[in-house]
Amino acid sequence: MSTDVVADREVALVEVLDRALGAGVVVSGEVTLSLADVDLVHLSLRLLVASVDTLIGEGGQTTDTR
């Protein structure tokens, strides 16, 4: 159960980032995050989801050897 709680929290973070960066009202069509900024946030997002994936994989095969 505790694994699920951790996973839920991390997934929730991804949900926030996905929504706040990809949806919502755009004022004057001007969203001026630089590409580097967006990449940075999406990289964090991928890392987060990957960690969730590893948690889910627990009890199954080991998925990350780093």
Partner 1 sequence: MIHAYLICEPATAAPLPKRRGLRGAKLRATTAEGLAAVYSNHRSFAASPELVLAHERVIEAVMERGPVLPLRFGTRLEHERDLVAFMGARRAELLAAIDRVRGRVEMGLRVIPRVRRGGQRDETSSGRAYLLERVEKHRLSERAKREVHLPLTRLATADVVATRVTPPAILAASYLVPADRVESFRTAAGRLAAGVAEVQSFVTGPWPPYSFVALDETSAASAASGHPG
The answer to whether 58 contacts partner 1 (rule: CB under 8 A) is no
Give dist(CA 39, CA 30) in Å, integer.
18
CB of 13 vs partner 1, minimal distance in Å? 7
The answer to whether 51 contacts partner 1 (rule: CB under 8 A) is no
The answer to whether 66 contacts partner 1 (rule: CB under 8 A) is no
For residue 52, give every residue at least 6 positions away whose Cβ sits within 8 Å of its Cβ, in sequence order, or none: 7, 10, 11, 14
| CA angle 5–8–13, rounded 5-degree value | 130
Give the interface with partner 1 as residue ranges (CB under 8 A): 7-8, 11-34, 37-38, 40-42, 44-46, 49-50, 52-53, 56-57, 60-61, 63
